[in-house]
Structure 1
């Protein structure tokens, strides 16, 4: 999948000699000696590195996902939890503008991922002393590391999948789609483990909430700033249980960093075909994120990542507080979110396999219809403990559609903007972060019903914009490169590298 910047599915020549070792120069360069001995001969290098990235993210987001879902409930006093998330995603918004291309070019994907994971661990530590002086600064630090982390991950998997496709003579978009599908299957399962841990730990509290009918009337779409029921319905767990939970999460984050340092091989950012070429100046790298906005397709796709951030923020910030915690209690937050994570994880794997048969458009249509149906249900439903099954079914359906945005958005950006992957993924994280900022920033000022109407409007706009881009691509097909064109293959190989 190394075509022009406006190509979407060029086929690699079948006789191309590029193999996965081309992007991993030397005998496991910069790999820990212990890892070399343990992994030698066990599995092919490309698969090995793919699994290291996937399970590194699994460990890290087992901790972060569970903790994020509890922020608005665990630190509800004075709106600290929501303010923390707002600062976090505001920092992601800023870092997406310039940090990812600079850090990836200078340090490579491996060390960008490693350093960014350290920012997450700092945030976990900041939660031990839940105050404005610890949570806000560490959330900003996490935000600065989040955009480079995801951009490096997307770049790493795209290069890995493209290289594997060339080796097998397959369509790059199919292999990359499969890679992202499996990755998000593993990654989204982190929500299952993270939420299960939080529910088991916090479920040990001796206080079980019982809510009056008057309190329950203020839950759900009727939850507004002037209503106090949603916040007064929260019984805080003991400090000992909170410390136990945070210790488990911090340990999981540290293990993720060690896994990446010891076992992940860096992708060569100076392939032989690019030797002797001068690196672009710092200012050029700095502005690459904004320069790519000159591409009409990227501007049209802005509502897509924006909605991705809005819908994730709604579920983790609004649903957990105004529906689950308000009507059931904080100890149920983890359990209901497990349904979301499990559905999203399984569907990510499924979509990665069937997308080559159904195409992207069918999956996007499925996600749009599913989320619109859920939004209507959220507007009409009055949460009540007697309707226990609904609390689990709705997050599950939300996860079915979320898997579409997580897998197909990443593949779409990797295919459409192949020659500018770092800048494209930085743009994606920028607009996605803006969606989170809007959700958490407006959390205390808008009723839940208003937020749901905004979600429906942005989703409709995103669907129309995506359809327009697909139509533009169908009107500008690009033929596959001619077989036997070795010079062209060499040129495409160079474009694939970082």
Structure 2
């Protein structure tokens, strides 16, 4: 393992409010091979971890349907995540460093996998709270670690820093997105088809939570305990392997920033700045509906489409195959649209996402799913993934572009409102029928379209006014 003191950075406040990176040339640097090795280790660790979690999350509302255990556990994760985002990342990373924050935070995911062996509210809710509290430090540590490696590698190779950082994150997400494929493939290969029901199930928009336990479609959801334990065991093993990979093979890096007294305090500083930014920025207020929709639409595809359409009609053993199609489309479009946006701007892509998701939601209201038309499920999942790719990549880019000088508070708002969308959607999952949920999705989407149009209009007006002011005589 590389010496943890091989390379150091001084992070000093600059007059522009950002941080100046001062390299100490007299100290040995982490070599290029070690940097690339660490990028690979982080990417591989997260791939194993989210092979387990993403697929288990897709199964929650179908597998743990009794008393709404699955839906409530997912809602609890995102409520805990909101709290964690505001208080814990800086505090934990400052004490443990990026390297050890990552495997420690993974323990929450491991406990969540363990809880699924005995999926009752007591075990699942407790594990979900622990997972949610650890999720924010996990992702913050990963982002900090990869960013720091990018800075070092750019210095060593005399390349553009932003370009190297984007390259490292692109490599990471290439691995991360593949977790949807491996995890869903595992569940579909392990679960087995049941005998055909004589009773025709009520699936699609007319599906209600009670239908999954009323007897007419239970065989489409239920699996033998041995099959469930096999899937849980594989996912648990995958999460444990992730923690071992990071603990053993990831090198520790030391940042002077981590040792600051302010970061070691468990203070509400970020919480205060988050709400100060919210109420001082009209554009941030107008972005709230679209940010909430980001959570709502992800929760719908993972909690309602999987249950009311896929599992109900095709059986839980086909759920993984359909969600693989969603994940692949999402990954490909994320990469493709991320490149094309530089040439045609983000407005056409937002229009594409709004039209695609709106059309799908209207179609879902009237579509009567049939197991004789499996291709429709795959096409629907792929189209939803295409829309999700736009929403995820472009909202992040929009926040970064508009609030580049207040990035920390702005992205805290992003995490807050998106997590709220997740939490609320999973909270009502077990109480409303699918058609009602679709109307809610359409309502939030409509509000998003209106508010996003107002954002673009304000940005255009502000830009035009600035241009007029800069021209003499105007």
TM-score by length of 2: 0.81
The corresponding residue for 1:42 is 33
Following the alignment from structure 2 to structure 1, what is the Cα–Cα distance between the partners of residues 355 and 455? Answer: 19
SS at match of 1:302: helix
Equivalent in 77, 82, 85 of residue 71 of structure 2: 82
The corresponding residue for 1:208 is 195
Give how far 1:346 is off.
1.5
Q: Check whether the contact 2:203–2:308 (CA below 8 A) recurs between aligned residues.
A: yes
Give how far 1:444 is off.
2.3
Q: Give a deviation string over 1:131-153, Cα, whole Å, max 9, x none.
A: 22211211111111223333444
Deviates more, 1:110-119 or 1:310-319: 110-119
Q: Check whether the contact 2:221–2:312 (CA below 8 A) recurs between aligned residues.
A: no
Give how far 1:398 is off.
0.8
Matched, 1:92 2:77: no
The corresponding residue for 1:454 is 440
Deviates more, 1:220-229 or 1:414-423: 414-423
Equivalent in 410, 424, 427 of residue 441 of structure 1: 427
Q: Which runs of 5+ in 1 are unaligned?
A: 8-15, 29-39, 480-498
Matched, 1:219 2:206: no
Equivalent in 341, 348, 360 of residue 346 of structure 2: 360
Q: Check whether the contact 1:117–1:253 (CA below 8 A) recurs between aligned residues.
A: yes
- CA change 1:362–1:128 in 2 (3 A) is same
Question: 1 or 2 for the larger relative contact order (CA 8 Å, sep ≥6)?
Answer: 1
Matched, 1:51 2:40: yes
Q: Check whether the contact 1:5–1:417 (CA below 8 A) recurs between aligned residues.
A: no
Give how far 1:337 is off.
0.7
Equivalent in 168, 184, 189 of residue 195 of structure 1: 184
Equivalent in 234, 239, 242 of residue 253 of structure 1: 239
Following the alignment from structure 1 to structure 2, what is the Cα–Cα distance between the partners of residues 429 and 220? Answer: 30
The corresponding residue for 2:399 is 413
SS at match of 1:383: coil
- CA change 1:75–1:5 in 2 (3 A) is farther
Give how far 1:117 is off.
1.4
The corresponding residue for 1:495 is none
Following the alignment from structure 2 to structure 1, what is the Cα–Cα distance between the partners of residues 16 and 337? Answer: 25
The corresponding residue for 1:336 is 322
The corresponding residue for 1:491 is none
Q: Give a deviation string over 1:320-371, Cα, whole Å, max 9, x none.
A: 1110111111111111111101111112222233232232323222222221
Equivalent in 313, 337, 353 of residue 327 of structure 1: 313
Give how far 1:201 is off.
0.8
Give how far 1:284 is off.
2.7
SS at match of 1:99: helix
Give how far 1:41 is off.
5.6
Equivalent in 130, 138, 146 of residue 127 of structure 2: 138
Following the alignment from structure 1 to structure 2, what is the Cα–Cα distance between the partners of residues 5 and 234? Answer: 60
- CA change 1:75–1:311 in 2 (3 A) is same
Matches of residues 9-408 of structure 1 in structure 2 within 5 Å? 27-28=29-30, 42=33, 45=35, 47-157=36-146, 172=162, 180-203=169-192, 207-210=194-197, 212-213=199-200, 215=201, 218-225=202-209, 227=211, 228=214, 232-265=218-251, 269-270=255-256, 282-285=267-270, 287-296=272-281, 297-408=283-394
Following the alignment from structure 1 to structure 2, what is the Cα–Cα distance between the partners of residues 449 and 258? Answer: 44
- CA change 1:419–1:346 in 2 (3 A) is same
The total of aligned residue pairs comes to 446
Following the alignment from structure 1 to structure 2, what is the Cα–Cα distance between the partners of residues 293 and 266? Answer: 36
